[in-house]
Amino acid sequence: MDYVDQVLSQLKEKNASEPEFIQAATEVLNTLRPVIAQHPEYQKAKLLERLIEPERIITFRVPWIDDKGEIQVNRGFRVQFNSAIGPYKGGLRFHPTVNQGILKFLGFEQIFKNSLTGLPIGGGKGGSDFDPKGKSDAEIMRFCQSFMTELFKYVGADEDVPAGDIGVGGREIGFLYGQYKRLTGLYEGVLTGKGLTYGGSLTRTEATGFGLVYITNEALKAHGKSFEGKRVVISGSGNVAIYAAEKATALGATVVAMCDSNGYIYDANGVNLPVIHDIKEVRRARIKEYIKEVPSAEYHEGCSGIWTIPCDIALPCATQNEINEDSAKKLIENGCWLLAEGANMPSTLEAQEVYKKAGIIFLPAKAANAGGVGVSALEMSQNSLRLSWTFEEVDARLQGIMKSIFANISAAAKEYGENEDDYVTGANVAGFLKVATAMMAQGIV
Ligand code: NDP
Ligand code: 2IT
């Protein structure tokens, strides 16, 4: 058995109850084979064994009192996966499906994504099985305060810097920041995605969605194409989806469908984004409401139907494994020729095989959604400098980051991939090499 196979078999045995983590790590390790073959010293240093083991996982109780006076208990986590190239950095997810395996997959992906940004940030992820849906602002605040009352011991501006993810946006970051400041007395950049009046960065709200469209645009240009006149399907209607839709529309595309976890809307005229913004961001309501405002559109229950809509470009921006083999086949049968991942690991391994066989342009999450954490790192820089850059300045830097990620993954695809468009191998290898070099330099830690 070669080294990668040995580590894969150990990974499966040791993490049998964590299928999403096995999925994420299997994809990465399989694509690293040519690099591992070039570096026998990695095996001697047990580099892969160390890479797949988080440096630390913190699990804690989060008790809080709901509006009826009842005591609720949730589980909180922070996975501090890898600090070889910088302090742990990655979002917090509040969703009932959160468990250790989900956060390990997200933390593992974050290591390589953060490396690809070119900025000095390590990989981490955290969150809770708390469900923010239907909770009052006061309940959200009490939950966030309780969560931070435990987490504050393990985070800090130079140690571990959380941010948002599913279920964690500006409101939650504000409550978490207030409690951190109260407990530590420190006014420091311990979180990113902060409000603009207390250390947040312009463009962070838009960054993941905009970055996704910027890198997709780079891939389109490299293939002699553009967004102009293309039909785009975007899953989700949260932070990433909304700003991806906005930028794709600005570049001349028509976004024909979006969804939430209940169902999807189809609007052949192009989704009306102010209406979506009002429903999802202001009212925190269901996407079904859209047809009340735009009666010519259609609403269908269930989210997987969104992948049956004919499109040129698909941008999955909701959650992991939202596209399985069948959905991937339907997308391609109906004309999709480019897929870029705004969500983390939205495509199953089987779906990725379908893309590969069909030869569509495929931009994997680590590269495609790195704009969010990239601007988070710029927020950290601004906090350290005690300065705020303009929207235009941060947006220009974000465009620079996405351009350089595309150039780096293209170069690594040419050198190590199955073909020059093998951006999966390109992203994994380019992200890995910097982390591996840093780990080798720092000894057995
Ligand atoms: P939000 O909470 O703002 O929005 C999530 C969207 O996805 C909502 O429309 C939600 O629907 C839908 N969704 C969530 N879970 C499911 C599910 N299990 N099934 C179907 N639909 C679901 O999150 P974000 O937009 O921030 O995150 C979306 C994705 O992007 C995630 O994979 C996240 O990890 C990734 N990401 C986020 C970044 C960021 O900066 N925020 C950066 C990089 C990646 P509903 O409202 O019904 O729950
Ligand atoms: O998945 C991700 O990259 C995020 N949720 C953003 C992380 C961050 O630290 O900005």
Any ligand 2 atom below 6 A from CB of 239: no
The Å distance, Cα 75 to ligand 1 centre, comes to 20
**Category of 197 on φ-ψ map: left (φ > 0), alpha (ψ -120 to 50) or beta:** alpha
Any ligand 1 atom below 6 A from CB of 303: yes
Alpha-carbon dihedral of residues 354, 358, 360, 363, nearest 10 degrees?
30
Any ligand 1 atom below 6 A from CB of 395: no
* Regions of the chain with pLDDT less than 70: none
pLDDT score, position 416: 98
Alpha-carbon span 283 to 290, nearest angstrom: 12
Any ligand 2 atom below 6 A from CB of 379: no
Alpha-carbon span 171 to 84, nearest angstrom: 31
Backbone angles phi, psi at 161, to 5 degrees: -125, 90
Sequential DSSP letters for 219-243: HHHHTT--STT-EEEE---SHHHHH
Residue 385 CA: distances (Å) to CA of 211, 378, 379, 380: 24, 10, 10, 9
Alpha-carbon span 368 to 345, nearest angstrom: 11
Residue nearest ligand 2's atom 10 by CA: 373
- Measured from the Cβ of residue 445, the count of other Cβ atoms closer than 10 Å reads 8
What burial letters (b/e) apply to 16-35, b meaning 16+ CB within 10 Å?
eebebbbbbbebbbebbbeb
Q: Which of 125, 247, 280, 330 is catalytic?
A: 125
Our measurement of the distance from residue 383's CA atom to the centroid of its chain's CA atoms, rounded to an integer in Å, reads: 23
Alpha-carbon span 201 to 178, nearest angstrom: 17
> Which residues lie below 8 Å from residue 242, measured CB to CB, with a gap of 6+?
209, 273, 276, 277, 280, 281
The Å distance, Cα 344 to ligand 1 centre, comes to 9
Residue nearest ligand 2's atom 4 by CA: 91
Ligand 1 atom nearest residue 319's Cα? 32
Contacts 24+ apart (CB under 8 A), 175-182: 175/140, 175/141, 175/144, 175/145, 175/148, 176/92, 176/144, 176/147, 176/148, 176/151, 178/145, 179/144, 179/145, 179/148, 179/149, 179/152, 180/148, 180/152, 180/155
Residue nearest ligand 1's atom 31 by CA: 343
The Å distance, Cα 165 to ligand 2 centre, comes to 6
On whether the CB atoms of residues 123 and 111 are closer than 8 A, the answer is: yes
Return the best residue to mutate from 131, 210, 319 for the ligand 1 pocket (most ligand atoms within 8 A of CB). 319
The Å distance, Cα 191 to ligand 2 centre, comes to 11
Residue nearest ligand 1's atom 47 by CA: 261
On whether the CB atoms of residues 15 and 21 are closer than 8 A, the answer is: yes
Ligand 1 atom nearest residue 106's Cα? 34
The DSSP output letter for 173 is H
pLDDT in tens, 150-191: 999 999 999 999 999 999 999 999 999 999 999 999 999 999
The Å distance, Cα 304 to ligand 1 centre, comes to 15
Is residue 12 part of the annotated active site? The answer reads no
Kind and range of the H or E run holding 73 = strand 71-82
On whether the CB atoms of residues 115 and 86 are closer than 8 A, the answer is: no
For residue 380, the SS3 value is: helix
Return the best residue to mutate from 166, 279, 307, 366 for the ligand 1 pocket (most ligand atoms within 8 A of CB). 166
Any ligand 2 atom below 6 A from CB of 372: yes
Radius of gyration of the chain (CA): 21
Sequential DSSP letters for 5-69: HHHHHHHHHHTTT-HHHHHHHHHHHHHTHHHHHH-HHHHHTTHHHHHTS-SEEEEEEEEEE-TTS
Alpha-carbon span 248 to 231, nearest angstrom: 10
Residue reference for tokens 């400041």: 181
pLDDT score, position 1: 86
Any ligand 2 atom below 6 A from CB of 209: no
pLDDT in tens, 295-353: 999 999 999 999 999 999 999 999 999 999 999 999 999 999 999 999 999 999 999 99
Our measurement of the distance from residue 159's CA atom to the centroid of its chain's CA atoms, rounded to an integer in Å, reads: 21
Ligand 1 atom nearest residue 370's Cα? 43
56-65 vs 71-82, strand pairing mode: antiparallel
Alpha-carbon dihedral of residues 421, 424, 425, 427, nearest 10 degrees?
100
Q: Identify how many contiguous H helices and E strands the chain contains and give both numbers.
A: 18, 12
The Å distance, Cα 324 to ligand 2 centre, comes to 24
231-234 vs 122-128, strand pairing mode: unpaired
In 3D space, the residue among 120, 98, 124 whose CA is nearest the CA of residue 110 turns out to be: 124
Any ligand 2 atom below 6 A from CB of 107: no
Cite the DSSP H helix spans in 118-194. 137-151, 170-184
Looking at the CA of 205, name the nearest ligand. 1
Any ligand 1 atom below 6 A from CB of 348: no
Return the best residue to mutate from 240, 300, 306 for the ligand 1 pocket (most ligand atoms within 8 A of CB). 240
